Every structure is written in structure tokens, then in C-alpha cells.
Amino acid sequence: MGQKVKGAAAIRQIRRRLKKAYPKATTELNWHNPFELLIATILSAQTTDKKVNEVTPTLFSKFPDPAALAKANLKEVEEIVRPLGYFRQKARTIISVAKVLVERFNGEVPKSMHELLQLPGVGRKTAAIVLGTAFGIQEGIAVDTHVQRVAQRLGLTRNKKPDKIEQDLMELVPRKEWSWFGHALTLHGRYVCTAKNPQCGTCVLEAYCERVGVEQKRAGSSLLQ
């Protein structure tokens, strides 16, 4: 389990240093209400937040709420989200999500993990982001590719599956910090502990990092996802 991977003192230092570097870590997606955050997070799969932020102003100006998006023309939505990867699938998914919100949740984004997971295309990562960021409800740690990479390199987990990594991290981090910690690791992975050429020399976590997979990667071995 998580505690056996790294000692409590090291975990405290990692949290303390991340808190200093990213005191108000949150998503880089632009949103104004839980519905917008939910849709933007779904759209962010396999693409960058920057790209999503370029299309959501048009999307939400035309379809500002679940009722409007539920009635949207699929082709019109596809054209709006076309710059994103898998745009056809994403267009279908967000329209389906809007329909379920209207039909089952009175047009409101639910505030529980169980209910969010009933929405089409919504997994624990998306649900945890929406709950923690929009509602301040700590029900999980969102594990994206950045969190996965940083957690493994630091030695916070030996697991490779997101759900197992999440369980390890939730055991190591106080519940009140779950949402912040996920966002902090994402930002750290996005700008410092990058997939290629991580900036180890200037990393605030260098003293506590096991650099799992980093040296192998530099030597041209297989990537540690």
C-alpha cells in the first residue's frame, strides 16, 4: 500500500513543498459553473486544456446549460469541438450527458461520486475534478497522465492503473487536500516533471524523488507512462 512505498516524513515534505509551489492549485480549464466544468473536463481527454479553452466560449455561448445542449444538433456541436481530438465522440458524449442531466437530475450537476459516474463518459477522474473543484467535496484524487507519471517517479506508488494509484495517494494525503493535491501534481507534471526532459535540477521535490524511470528514459528505454 501507499505507506509502505514512502515514509510519512517524506510525504509531509512533499506536501509542504508542493503547497509552497502551488498554494492554490486548481484546473487550468476555464469555467463559470459546475456544468461548464463538467463539459470542459470531458472535452479535455486526449487534448490540452488550452485547446479546450479555445472552443468552450463558442460552445457555451450557444449552449449555456444542459437543457440547451440536450437539444443541440450533433453536427453543429461537432463543428465547434472539431479542433479537439476525437471530436465526433466527444460531441455525442456531451450531448448525452446533457440529456441525462435534464432527464434524471433536473438539469443540475449531481454532487456525489456515485451519481456522477452514472453520466455517459464520466469516470472517477472527471468526477473527482468536478466534485473537488466546483463543490469542494473531497471524494477522490483525479489521476491523469501527469499525476500518474509524477506519483510513480516520486515513489508514491508502484501501481500503474489509475484506480490503484488513486487509492495509494488517498492513503498518503489527508482527505481535505485530495483535490488540491491532484491539481498540484498535474501542474508539476505539466511544467516541471515533464514526460520528456524533466527539470530535475530545479525541481522542489528533487530531494525526495526516487526518479523512477527517469534515467532509463534518458538512456532510451521504454517510457514509463
- The catalytic site residues sit at 125, 144
Half-sphere exposure of 185 (CA within 13 A, CB side): 26
Write phi, then psi, for 182 (nearest 5 degrees). Answer: -60, -45
- Residue 138 CA, distance from chain mean position: 14
User: 213 vs 40, 76, 91, 156, 163, CA distance in Å?
Assistant: 32, 44, 36, 13, 20
Whole-number Å distance between alpha carbons of 68 and 85: 23
What would the grid cell of residue 53 be?
Answer: 479553452
What would the grid cell of residue 122 be?
Answer: 464520466
Q: Under a CB-based contact definition with an 8 Å cutoff, are residues 31 and 129 in contact?
A: no
Whole-number Å distance between alpha carbons of 146 and 144: 5
Whole-number Å distance between alpha carbons of 35 and 105: 12
3-class DSSP state of 72: coil
